[in-house]
Structure 1
Amino acid sequence: MRERDEPWFRAMYTEHYPAVARYAVRRLGSPSAAEELAQEVFLTAWRRRADIPGRELPWLYGVARRLLANEWRRTRPAFVELTDSAAPAGGVDELLDVRAALATLSEDDQELLRLVGWEQLSVSEAAAVLGCGRTVCAVRLHRARRRLTAAMERAVPATSTRRGALL
């Protein structure tokens, strides 16, 4: 494994900062708040650089997730707005349908669907972020997708839902 020195950290930061910032914006809705969170994630990464596994991004998402959870426990904000970059191909109406359906799911289901759908993590990577095994994560993902599909079918006519278009 490469030495975890300043050049290593700079390379990791350059490679992963955009993904961590997008992760934060999608959950916070505010670019400035997302930037603060991303900075906090990388400050934690610098302090704990010896603990970071070979695949850094899932570990960084895990740090971001825990920092967000701590903040949400403290402040209990309203539902997070999605950014334009997260909008599905169908436009604003479909985005609103997805947001409404997603909001009916548990926080755990929402997070798993976001990790796989928005952040495009593999099941193994999402499992690492969530701290569970790959098989458990795959089962949870399958069930969460079923619940999202059912929620969307309840919210909109079946003809307007393109199954599998989002997740």
Structure 2
Amino acid sequence: MSADTRPRKPNVSGLSSKGASESSLGARSLAEVDEPTFSGLAKRHRRELHVHCYRMLGSFEDAEDTVQETFLRAWRRRETFEGRSTFRAWLYRIATNACLDLLAKCRPEPATGGEVLWLQPYPDRLLDELPAGDADEPETVALARETIELAYLVAVQHLAPRPRAVLILRDVLGWPAKDVAELLGDSVNSVNSALQRARAGMREHLPAERQDWTGGEDDAGTRELVRRYTDASVATDIDKLAALLRDDVRCSMPPTPGLYVGRDAVVNDWIESGFEHLTHLRTIPTSVNRQPAIAFYEWRQGESAYLPLTIDVLRITGGAITEIITFHDDQFPHLGLPQRLPANDPK
């Protein structure tokens, strides 16, 4: 997902409102296109810009708002596009600055304590819309997966905004240091220094076994573990659930404060929260952030239907569950999950 920021010679020949293409964009031509044409060009990059903003912000909804702001700024400032970089790279610059502006206004301080209260999940069905890029390169595929998993999102939200931007632009998008420096108004030395600090911060907050993640890999062992977790959850069998957890498992439920680390702490929290008293649950298997997830529905007699309850997103390492991040029912809509299951709906 590298951004091509190599200079291009402006080419304004043959550009019309019906035949605009990025290969023919130049400074004068972009300023002259009508709004529908501009919108068509920009929306080609909507999904990857949304994912970029999501990495920066950790919130699906904030990323959605920031992409809208990006397109608005780009349209209003279209005359500033000089054709020295690609149109795509120009949009990334605007999106990054829009993210930094939002962070300065709403979240000037990074996350602390290992949890991110504003964290939201990202559905795999939308991640599948990303450009294929170098899909045949194992390293590229691994990078795309690892940098969208929730553990990465949590770690990157612990960085200050500008080092966070440097890390994502350099290590995820592959931008040269000079281009990042130009975007941020810094020197190359400052960017390189910020990158070193950001990488050190990531090592501090990422799981030690990062190289062993199974994430959302579709292997038989992962599917079986998810099935056992689902069955034990529906049965509210805490003993069976506990047997699936690694000793140092982590559990959180943003935006509700509280990070529980260790099997005993997690199990005690389940008991204190009344988990054993839940009844009449149904589930839908899904996947978010390239990780297995289970959507839980609870029977509501007054509605004569099963209504959304929570979504558990699992991180699995070495045949055991190493992290559970639970999201509230307000996340069901953007994940494309049903808002109700009828009484006769199969599990």
TM-score higher than 0.5:
yes
Question: Higher helix proportion, which one?
Answer: 1
Moved more, 70-79 or 40-49: 70-79
Q: 1:43 to 1:75 in 2, by over 3 A?
A: same
**2:59 alignment partner AA:** G
Percent of aligned pairs sharing the same letter: 23
Q: Which of the numbers 197, 202, 205 marks the counterpart of 1:148?
A: 202
Please give the residue correspondences for 1:1-167 in structure 2 after superposition, counting only pairs within 5 Å.
1=10, 2=26, 3-4=29-30, 5-6=32-33, 9-10=38-39, 12-26=41-55, 27-30=57-60, 32-54=61-83, 55=85, 56-76=87-107, 78-81=117-120, 83=122, 85=127, 87-88=145-146, 95-96=150-151, 98-149=152-203, 151-152=204-205, 156-157=207-208, 160-162=209-211
1:42 positional shift: 1.5
Partner secondary structure for residue 92 of structure 2: helix
Separation in structure 2 between the aligned mates of residue 40 and residue 156 of structure 1, nearest angstrom: 34
Aligned equivalents of 1:76, 1:145: Cα separation in 2: 21
- Measured against aligned partners, the alpha-carbon deviations of 1:90-139 in whole angstroms (never above 9, x if no partner) come to x96xx52x445434433322221122233343333322332223343233
**Deviation per residue, 1:15-66 (Å, 9 max, x gap):** 4333222222332522x54333222211211111111242233432332233
* RMSD (Å), alpha carbons: 3.4
Going from structure 1 to structure 2, the CA distance change for 1:133 and 1:156 (only over 3 Å counts) comes to same
Bigger radius of gyration among the two: 2
1:66 and 1:60 mapped to 2: Cα distance?
10
SS in 1 for 2:193: helix
1:57 counterpart letter in structure 2: R
CA deviations on 1:56-83 (whole Å, 9 max, x unpaired) are 3343233223333333344339454464
Q: Distance in 2 between matches of 1:132 and 1:68?
A: 17
CA distance in 1, matches of 2:170, 2:192: 11
Higher RCO, 1 vs 2 (CA within 8 Å, ≥6 residues apart)? 1
Name the structure with the higher strand share: 2
- 2:322 maps to what in 1? none
Indicate if the aligned counterparts of 1:61 and 1:129 stay in contact, CA closer than 8 A: no
Equivalent-residue separation in structure 1 for 2:154 and 2:163 (angstroms): 14
Determine the C-alpha separation between the residues in 1 that align with 2:101 and 2:41: 25
Write the letter of the residue equivalent to 1:88: E
Taking structure 2 as the reference length, the TM-score comes to: 0.36
Whole-Å separation in 1 of the counterparts to 2:49 and 2:99: 12
- Work out the number of aligned pairs and report it: 152
